Amino acid sequence: MQSLHASQLRRSIYLTAYLLILPTVVLLIIFRVVPMFQSAYLSLTNYSFVNPAKSKFIGLKNFLDLFHDKYTWRALWNTVYYSVVSLIPGVVIALLFALVITEKWFKFPGLARVVFFIPVVLSVVIAGLLFSWLYHPTIGFFNYILYSLNMRPVSWLGDPKMAMNSVAIMVIWKNLGYNITIWCAGLLSIPEDYRDAGKIDGANAWQDFWRIRFPLMRDVLLFLTVLGFLGSFQSFDSIYVLTGGGPMLSTRVIVFYLWQNAFTFYKMGLASAQAWLIFIILVGLTYVQFRAYRER
């Protein structure tokens, strides 16, 4: 009798748990799973917005067109460049700040983390408008500093050679607080006994960091780089707000080009093929990063 009661109680608990997660599962199916299958189907058609009934199944033609489209390759190159110049400096700068904030002699670690985290909670639109003013060619703050130093003003967003770097600066500034928070969590999780043992053995500040603390934070580095690459390869809003893909397509990343194909050029099939291309690239990058981490 007691065993029967325990079995009924267990089933009741499981049923309650399934009912609680059911709304989330339904939403995930509707807004994640179904669109994925729909995107896979659209990538194999020449879908027509004007008259969907005229859409035809064309197989892998959209994917073949991608490989022959020079603008797709340029957008991919822009995405890779944007990922590198926004991720690597952002992670390194955040680490430098985190090293200072987590030191015992630093008096206001909590306040510093709050101040650095403020840009993270700002919307990209607000951050973009702020930096649009800072980058303004005549009244912008950055060019004002250059004028004060008797240097030539820079067309931050109008020069094809500077535009992507300018967008990356804004992204680094906005994500800095998040990266600092993660680095601080990793640094503070290292037992002080390790550092004390290093000091007894005569380790200087550089050896303390490179030989003791940094090897223990490889999990943090992997976390930041994987999420950073995933985020940068899907970047859209910062490009849309600051440059709109210009000048001369120098900042048109792959997701922005995907959006243009879908909602400007009305090539939904080609855009869906681009989406799956991005998915394959991201899976491959993530696999390479995890594989390299395991080998080390």
Residue 51 pLDDT exceeds 80: no
Q: Mean pLDDT across the stretch 269-281? A: 92
Specify the pLDDT at position 203: 83
Does residue 40 carry a pLDDT above 60? Answer: yes
Mean pLDDT estimate for the chain:
89
For residue 98, is pLDDT > 90?
A: yes
4 falls in which pLDDT band (50, 70, 90)? low
Amino acid at 233: F
Q: Rg of the Cα trace of the chain? A: 25
The pLDDT of residue 295 is above 70: no
pLDDT at 178: 95
pLDDT of residue 5: 66
pLDDT surpasses 60 at 186: yes
| Helix %, strand %, coil % of the chain (to 5) | 75, 0, 25
What is the rounded average pLDDT of the residues 233-246?
91
Q: How far is CA 105 from CA 98, 152, 187, in A?
A: 13, 41, 15
Tell me, what's the pLDDT at 212?
A: 87
Percent of the chain with pLDDT over 90: 55
pLDDT per position as a tens digit, 201-229 = 888 888 888 888 988 898 899 889 988 98
CB 159 within 8 A of CB 137: no
Give 195's pLDDT tier (boundaries 50, 70, 90): confident
Own/partner contacts of 101-105, CB < 8 Å, gap of 24 or more, are: 101/180, 101/184, 102/184, 102/187, 102/188
Q: What pLDDT shows up at residue 273?
A: 93
Residue 156 clears pLDDT 70, i.e. is over it? yes
pLDDT of residue 3: 64
Whether the CB-CB separation of 126 and 118 falls below 8 Å is answered with no
